[in-house]
């Protein structure tokens, strides 16, 4: 038999076999997911929130926008130039955002910044019905607010969970950007448990869903049609949407909703410490195998931390059996802890592991859960410092027992250190410094080219500096 004939039909046979085992994939199977079912089901439960506020005409950000870090502001300033050029005085100004119906008797969730300081709140339903809304309660720290309208048999959303969200998972938003009601935008989950500047209470969901003014307070859905977040903020450097938006997770929403509905306010746990990040040099100086945990830079008087025996210089490694990988993890965990609950805290103290039980108290209105201080500073040398004893007034102002003030820094030190003139050094490797003689003694006892940590008061705030000893 002709060999080429056999080869020809053998190849054809193999091709037929391969074709038979490969699934019949059409273009529709590999295209974007179909959102229509989710949208049609949930649009009736998404509302427009109108708030009228008495504002000053002096140059400012639009009242619909929350207090944001500087890098957020250029985006919003672009849209409100006319307001900044308006005559001075006070006037009634409308602001708007989005919201969604939680119960068929009219409980509605939105962002706090949408309705903050509002004199009048109106809600527009999907069928264009307008209803007057009452503010049940609001929580500035989570930027959530609960409204109530007098109605019945309203369509509602289903609250899901954000814990199961995966990076790359499809999500969609429904809201009213720039007043275009019930606008649908979609994207993917870009990150989870994001901490934004000046935000310590919400582990934000990051997405690339298009969010603009008017979307605030609207729901973020997964493909099952469950609410997994509340759209709240964007990040931009250009003045427009750049593919980075943030949503408050469903777990925070559920907790805040229950408390606002029942009590009209939100209770949070309070530890009462100032903390800072552990960098690689501080990790070495504290005896850690890698950067982790939160350094206690200061303990507030009469706080739960003080009552439980926590000390300045402790490194908190775990809270309620949950590891603290970054210092930013601690405020989130403390904040959601039940008030009056005893929590086990894992601590590194003087290079030894100990445990403390802390009874968490309610966060005072004017306080912080666990306040982040400035990041650690990388210092290379400690020689070349001229120091002096501190006076009694300084001790009283800083609430310390002793220390030394940096009066002069050599040229070499200035080039290699972040230590500053007027810094007050109170501890070296968690050992207290009471005066100049004590400072010199402690420095001499340290091994050359080793890392040590100094507790420094700068502008009345404590910060740990990791420094390299050079003699």
What are the residue numbers of the active site? 113, 143, 216
> Based on C-alpha coordinates, what's the Rg of the chain?
29
Q: Is 381 helix (H, G, I), strand (E, B) or coil?
A: coil
Burial class (CB in 10 A: 0-12, 13-18, 19+), 213: buried
Per-position DSSP letters for 192-254, written without gaps between them: EEE--TT--S--EEEE-----TT-TT-EEEETTSEEEEEEEEE--SSSS--S-EEEEEHHHHH
Distance between CA 209 and CA 223 in Å, rounded? 14
Distance between CA 210 and CA 136 in Å, rounded? 29
> How much of the chain is helix, strand and coil, in % rounded to 5?
25, 35, 40
Beta bridge partners of residue 54, listed in sequence order: 92
Among candidate residues 232, 212, 235, the one with its CA nearest the CA of residue 220 = 232
Task: Assess contact for 88 and 57: CB atoms under 8 A.
Answer: yes
Place of tokens 């930013």: 328
Question: CB atoms < 10 A from the CB of 254, how many?
Answer: 15
Distance between CA 170 and CA 133 in Å, rounded? 33
Distance between CA 287 and CA 131 in Å, rounded? 61
Distance between CA 258 and CA 273 in Å, rounded? 28
**What does each C-alpha distance from 304 to 170, 268, 321, 331 come to in angstroms?**
42, 13, 18, 14
Distance between CA 101 and CA 231 in Å, rounded? 15
Q: Is 75 helix (H, G, I), strand (E, B) or coil?
A: helix
Q: Rounded to 5 degrees, what are φ and ψ at 89?
A: 130, -165
Task: Assess contact for 345 and 356: CB atoms under 8 A.
Answer: yes
Place of tokens 């809270």: 319
Place of tokens 């919400």: 202
Distance of CA 244 to the CA centre of its chain: 15
């Amino acid at each position: 038999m002709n060999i080429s004939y056999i080869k020809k039909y053998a190849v054809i046979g193999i091709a037929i076999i391969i074709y038979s085992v490969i699934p019949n994939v059409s273009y529709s199977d590999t295209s974007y997911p179909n959102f229509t079912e989710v949208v049609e089901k949930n649009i009736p439960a998404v509302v427009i929130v109108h708030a009228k506020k008495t504002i000053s005409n002096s140059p400012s950000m639009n009242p619909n926008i929350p207090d944001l870090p500087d890098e957020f502001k250029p985006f919003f300033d672009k849209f409100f130039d006319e307001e900044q050029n308006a005559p001075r005085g006070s006037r009634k100004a409308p602001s708007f955002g989005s919201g969604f119906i939680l119960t068929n008797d009219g409980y509605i969730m939105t962002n706090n910044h949408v309705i903050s300081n509002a004199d009048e709140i109106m809600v527009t339903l999907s069928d264009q019905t307008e209803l007057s809304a009452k503010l049940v309660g609001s929580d500035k720290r989570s930027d959530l607010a609960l409204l109530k309208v007098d109605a019945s048999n309203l369509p509602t959303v289903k609250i899901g969970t954000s814990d199961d969200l995966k990076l790359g998972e499809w999500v969609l938003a429904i809201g009213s950007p720039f007043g275009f009601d019930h606008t649908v935008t979609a994207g993917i989950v870009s990150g989870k448990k994001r901490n934004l500047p000046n935000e310590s209470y919400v582990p934000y969901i990051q997405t690339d869903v298009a969010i603009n003014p008017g979307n605030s307070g609207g729901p973020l859905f997964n493909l099952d049609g469950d609410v997994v977040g509340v759209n709240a903020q964007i990040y931009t450097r250009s003045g427009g949407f750049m593919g980075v938006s943030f949503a408050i997770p469903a777990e925070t929403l559920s907790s805040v909703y229950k408390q606002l509905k029942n009590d009209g306010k939100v209770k949070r746990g309070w530890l009462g410490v100032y903390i800072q990040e552990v960098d690689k040099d501080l990790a070495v100086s504290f005896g850690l195998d890698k950067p982790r945990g939160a350094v206690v830079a200061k303990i507030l008087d009469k706080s739960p931390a003080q009552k439980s025996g926590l000390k300045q210089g402790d490194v908190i490694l775990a809270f309620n059996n949950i590891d603290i990988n970054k210092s930013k993890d601690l405020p989130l965990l403390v904040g959601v802890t039940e008030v009056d609950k005893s929590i086990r805290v894992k601590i590194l103290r003087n290079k030894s592991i100990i445990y403390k039980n802390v009874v968490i108290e309610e966060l005072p209105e004017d306080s912080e859960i666990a306040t982040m201080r400035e990041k650690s500073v990388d210092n290379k040398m400690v020689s070349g410092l001229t120091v002096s004893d501190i006076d009694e007034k300084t001790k009283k102002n800083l609430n310390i027992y002793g220390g030394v003030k940096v009066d002069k820094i050599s040229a070499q030190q200035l080039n290699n250190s972040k230590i500053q003139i007027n810094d007050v050094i109170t501890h070296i490797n968690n050992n207290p410094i009471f005066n100049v003689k004590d400072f010199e003694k402690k420095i001499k006892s340290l091994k050359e080219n080793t890392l040590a940590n100094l507790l420094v008061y700068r502008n009345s705030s404590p910060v740990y500096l990791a420094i390299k000893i050079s003699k």
